């Protein structure tokens, strides 16, 4: 039986690909395509918006009465509404929107008491492998290696640094027992910007149509180790999110990870 799927942010870059690729999956049935009320294509068929065949589901600001799983790739402004809907209607939640503030992240965590939840800043296989190894690399190399993270994205991306870059930093801090907030230094400028031991430098590049590139640099006197990932297409994240949605529908309430979905 197909899981009934709602997509939030359905008219966006990610949302359109979600609508398109979901239409190719037998195990998912699109029942809701939600976007902000003042979107210029409001009321049009979600398939038409995504430039594929009509799907019989209109772009709407309202959530459907009944659904099994929801994928949100929109903006943080709508997060609370999405979370409240999932809790009230017992709909599994795949939250892919990045840039959530601490209160919104706490709401996502609390939702896991009521429904099954995946909250992932990056739903792709490759980046989840990176999340799994970057801390181990830091631990193996030891304290004398300076760690810097550089992320690159397209000129339209609103939040910085990227959610994935923050997750990389979190994974490193978790593994080597550092406090994330005390360790991160965002960009550097000025006459007194000397690197301090133990800090993790974070740098965000915004240019053109770069889909997503992340580098973790570990450097000491004499050598540099670099772990990097380049996304060529948004579809890697979209496929991951759809896989996550299928996996999550019908699970017990709780917080699950893409690493569990992918078995890594």
Q: Residues 64, 120, 135, 244: which binds ligand NAD (CB under 6 A)?
A: 120
- The 217-236 site mask, x for binding ligand NAD (CB under 6 A), equals --------------------
Q: Which is nearer to ligand NAD, 166 or 178 (CB)?
A: 166
> How distant is the alpha carbon of residue 62 from its chain centre?
23
**Beta-strand relationship, 116-119 and 254-256:** parallel
Q: Of the residues 87, 153, 178, 214, which is catalytic?
A: 153
Q: What secondary structure, in 3-state letters, does the chain show?
A: CCEEEEEECCCCHHHHHHHHHHCCCCCEEEEEEECCCCCCCCCCEHHHHCCCCCCCCEEECCCCCCCCEEEECCCHHHHHHHHHHHHHHCCEEEECCCCCCHHHHHHHHHHCCCCEEEECCCCCHHHHHHHHHHHHHHHHHCCCCEEEEEEEECCCCCCCCCHHHHHHHHHHHHHHCCCHHHHEEECCCCCCCCCCCCCEEEEEEECCCCCEEEEEEEEECCEEEEEEEEECCCHHHHHHHHHHHHHHCCCCCEEECHHHHHCC
Q: Which is nearer to ligand NAD, 147 or 238 (CB)?
A: 238
Number of residues that bind ligand NAD (CB under 6 A): 25
Is residue 182 involved in binding ligand NAD (CB under 6 A)?
no
Q: Of the residues 105, 157, 213, 251, which is catalytic?
A: 157
Q: Which is nearer to ligand NAD, 6 or 218 (CB)?
A: 6
Active-site residue 157, yes or no? yes
- Nearest-approach distance from CB 220 to ligand NAD, in angstroms: 32
Active-site residue 158, yes or no? no
- Nearest-approach distance from CB 158 to ligand NAD, in angstroms: 7
Q: Residues 96, 116, 161, 244: which binds ligand NAD (CB under 6 A)?
A: 96
Is residue 262 involved in binding ligand NAD (CB under 6 A)?
no
* Residues 151, 153, 156, 160, Cα dihedral to 10°: -10
**Which window, 30-38, 63-71, 168-176, 220-228, contacts ligand NAD (CB under 6 A)?**
30-38
Q: Which is nearer to ligand NAD, 201 or 240 (CB)?
A: 240
Is residue 170 involved in binding ligand NAD (CB under 6 A)?
no
Chain positions contacting ligand NAD, by CB under 6 A: 8-9, 11-15, 34-36, 39, 73-75, 77-78, 96-99, 120-123, 237
Active site residue ranges:
153, 157
């Amino acid at each position: 039986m197909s899981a009934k799927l709602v997509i939030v942010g359905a008219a966006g870059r990610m949302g359109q690909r979600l609508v398109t690729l979901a239409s190719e999956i037998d195990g998912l049935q699109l029942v809701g395509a939600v976007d902000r009320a003042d979107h210029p294509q409001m009321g049009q068929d979600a398939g038409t918006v995504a430039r594929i065949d009509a799907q019989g589901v209109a772009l709407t600001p309202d959530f459907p009465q009944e659904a099994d799983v929801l994928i949100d790739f929109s903006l943080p402004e709508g997060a609370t509404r999405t979370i409240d809907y999932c809790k009230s209607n017992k709909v599994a939640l795949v939250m892919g929107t990045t840039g959530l503030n601490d209160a919104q992240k706490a709401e996502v965590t609390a939702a896991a008491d009521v429904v099954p939840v995946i909250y992932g800043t990056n739903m792709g296989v490759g980046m989840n492998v990176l999340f799994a190894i970057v801390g181990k690399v830091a631990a193996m190399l030891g304290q004398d290696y300076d760690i810097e993270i550089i992320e690159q994205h397209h000129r339209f991306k609103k939040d910085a640094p990227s959610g994935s870059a923050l997750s990389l930093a979190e994974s490193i801090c978790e593994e080597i027992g550092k406090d994330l907030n005390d360790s991160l230094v965002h960009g550097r400028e000025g006459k007194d910007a000397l690197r301090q031991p133990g800090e993790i430098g974070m740098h965000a590049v915004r240019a053109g149509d770069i889909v997503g590139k992340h580098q973790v640099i570990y450097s000491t006197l004499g050598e540099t180790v670099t772990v990097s990932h380049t996304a060529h297409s948004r579809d890697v994240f979209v496929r991951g999110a759809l896989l996550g949605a299928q996996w999550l529908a019908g699970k017990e309430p709780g917080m699950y990870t893409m690493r569990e979905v992918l078995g890594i």
